[in-house]
């Protein structure tokens, strides 16, 4: 990959410096300063605000392959991290084109202003297609993204920082991404021209405890919209904390970092919950740590899966669905122990995207069935989980596909 930008300026105001010494020059946007992180790419066409606030992107710089980002501005609703004040999500962002003025009735501010408010450092005006191709060939690199309006950079120092950063392997980021406290979630899914609703008193029929490793809001909204009382507990909650709430089921959330590192304290808790016989549902990091708790292993992927157009096959139905993805680690299919069945598989590379425990009400998926952004093909998985809860309570099942 060449270090020459797609357009030239007299003086670049932002740089992306890769660990191999490559320097990519561009125009600075968003917050000023610098951040060291892993560079990845996302192929989604919409939903940039939800992507940038997904806690699973903590420790990463997101390159958008779609060239026009920012056209719909930003608002206070389309955020996915549970505690926005903590600014969990991507630390950097890379665009091909300049951000245009917002053109959407829901916009409350320009995307550039929103990036500044969240402390996200940005770079625009580069050949994002070339960067994406480089990542596909070489893997997600460690890098430093830096923005200085005056264009003053110590390039050798930035190269050293990128080279010395140890990356995401072995890093527990769930403790950073978690809300860190117990809370009740009441918000329901978005309705056209009405916005987000609130769960009415008496609507909750099933109690779900969600372990928050960096949970997305839309996951919790889907639970409340299906008649669940949702209690959110921090990543470090013990099995006794969870069982003390007398839940009907347990949810293991998405989140950032290396599952093996987070699993050092989370896996023993998950194993105790498995032994308790409760229905369990995991997504993303929660899926990976459930795999570890069952005896499987996880591995760092070459480039990861990130976007809203990934084909996944559900072996239980034989159907192919288009899903939202965001992960750089995966459960090794070959490591799945006896009694654990692979339920979903990526049709891009054959990697594991789901599992279930035979004879027990326990399953998980690697992709993001809640979308936000992305297609809603996989919403049925939430109803599948609720049916496991209903079965345990002796209640009739609901239709899995609404």
Q: State yes or no: cis peptide before 373, omega within 30 of 0.
A: yes
Distances in Å between the Cα of 42 and the Cα atoms of 31, 90, 185, 363, 397 are 21, 12, 29, 26, 37
What mean pLDDT comes out for the span 332-341? 98
Site of tokens 């932002």: 14
Please state, in angstroms and rounded to a whole number, the distance separating the CA atoms of residues 284 and 265.
17
Which residues face 300 on adjacent strands? Answer: 329
Among the listed residues 7, 14, 307, the one whose alpha carbon sits nearest the alpha carbon of residue 127: 7
What mean pLDDT comes out for the span 49-73? 96
Domain boundaries, the chain: 14-164, 174-392
Structure tokens at 204: 């909750």
| Residue with more model confidence, 7 or 233 | 233
pLDDT at 402 over 90: no
Residue 84 banded pLDDT, cuts 50, 70, 90: confident
- The per-residue pLDDT for 180 is 86
- Percent share of the chain, pLDDT over 90: 90
Question: What residues have CB less than 8 Å from 147, skipping those under 6 apart?
Answer: 13, 14, 28, 29, 30, 31, 32, 33, 34, 121, 122, 123
pLDDT in tens, 139-171: 999 999 999 999 999 999 999 999 999 999 999
Q: pTM for the full model?
A: 0.96
Please state, in angstroms and rounded to a whole number, the distance separating the CA atoms of residues 384 and 371.
16
Max Cα-Cα span within the chain = 71
What mean pLDDT comes out for the span 251-271? 98
- The per-residue pLDDT for 5 is 45
Mean pLDDT for all residues in the chain: 95
Query: How many Å is the Cα radius of gyration of the chain?
Result: 21
- Active site (catalytic) residues: 284, 368, 370
What mean pLDDT comes out for the span 336-343? 98
Determine the CATH number of domain 14-164: 3.50.30.20
Helix or strand (DSSP H, E) at 267? helix 259-275
Distances in Å between the Cα of 64 and the Cα atoms of 97, 107, 293, 307 are 10, 20, 34, 9
What mean pLDDT comes out for the span 383-391? 98
What mean pLDDT comes out for the span 53-82? 96
Please state, in angstroms and rounded to a whole number, the distance separating the CA atoms of residues 177 and 165.
20
Sheet order of strands, 206-212 included: 183-185, 228-234, 206-212, 249-252, 280-283, 362-365, 352-357, 340-346, 298-314, 319-331
Please state, in angstroms and rounded to a whole number, the distance separating the CA atoms of residues 231 and 209.
5
CB 222 within 8 A of CB 189: yes
Residue 120 banded pLDDT, cuts 50, 70, 90: very high
Residue 309 banded pLDDT, cuts 50, 70, 90: very high
Straight-line distance from the first to the last Cα atom of the chain, in angstroms, rounded to the nearest whole number? 47
- The per-residue pLDDT for 192 is 85
> Topology of domain 174-392, per CATH?
Rossmann fold (3.40.50)
């Amino acid at each position: 990959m060449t270090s020459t930008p797609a357009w030239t300026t007299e003086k670049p105001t932002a740089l992306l410096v890769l660990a191999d010494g490559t320097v990519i020059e561009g125009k600075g946007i968003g917050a000023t300063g610098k951040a060291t992180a892993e560079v990845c790419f996302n192929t989604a066409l919409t939903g940039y605000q939800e992507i940038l606030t997904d806690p699973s992107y903590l420790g990463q710089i997101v390159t958008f392959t779609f060239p026009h980002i920012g056209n719909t501005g930003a608002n206070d609703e389309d955020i996915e991290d549970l505690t926005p004040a903590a600014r969990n999500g991507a630390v950097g962002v890379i665009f091909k084109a300049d951000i245009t003025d917002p053109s959407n009735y829901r916009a409350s501010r320009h995307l550039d202003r929103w990036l500044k408010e969240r402390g996200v450092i940005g770079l625009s005006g580069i050949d994002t297609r070339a960067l994406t191709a480089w990542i596909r060939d070489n893997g997600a690199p460690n890098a430093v993204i830096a923005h200085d309006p005056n264009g003053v950079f110590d390039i050798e120092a930035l190269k050293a920082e990128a080279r010395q950063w140890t990356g995401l392997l072995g890093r527990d980021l769930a403790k950073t991404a978690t809300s860190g406290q117990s809370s009740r979630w009441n918000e329901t899914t978005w309705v056209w021209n009405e916005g987000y609703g609130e769960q009415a008193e008496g609507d909750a029929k099933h109690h779900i405890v969600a372990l928050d490793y960096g949970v997305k809001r839309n996951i919790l909204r889907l639970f409340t919209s299906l008649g669940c009382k949702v209690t959110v507990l921090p990543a470090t909650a013990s099995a006794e904390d969870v069982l003390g709430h007398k839940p009907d089921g347990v949810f293991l959330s998405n989140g950032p970092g290396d599952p093996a590192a987070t699993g050092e304290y989370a896996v023993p808790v998950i194993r105790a919950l498995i032994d308790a016989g409760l229905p369990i549902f995991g997504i993303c990091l929660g899926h990976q740590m459930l795999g570890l708790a069952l005896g499987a292993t996880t591995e760092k992927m070459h480039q990861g899966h990130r976007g809203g157009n990934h084909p996944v096959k559900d072996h239980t139905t034989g159907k192919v669905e288009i899903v939202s993805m965001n992960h750089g680690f995966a459960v090794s299919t070959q490591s799945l122990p006896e009694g654990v069945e692979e339920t979903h598989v990526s049709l891009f590379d054959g990697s594991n995207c789901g599992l279930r425990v035979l004879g027990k009400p326990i399953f998980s998926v690697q992709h993001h069935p809640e979308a936000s952004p992305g297609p809603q093909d996989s919403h049925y998985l939430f109803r599948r989980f609720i049916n496991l809860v209903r079965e345990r309570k002796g209640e009739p099942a609901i239709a899995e596909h609404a």
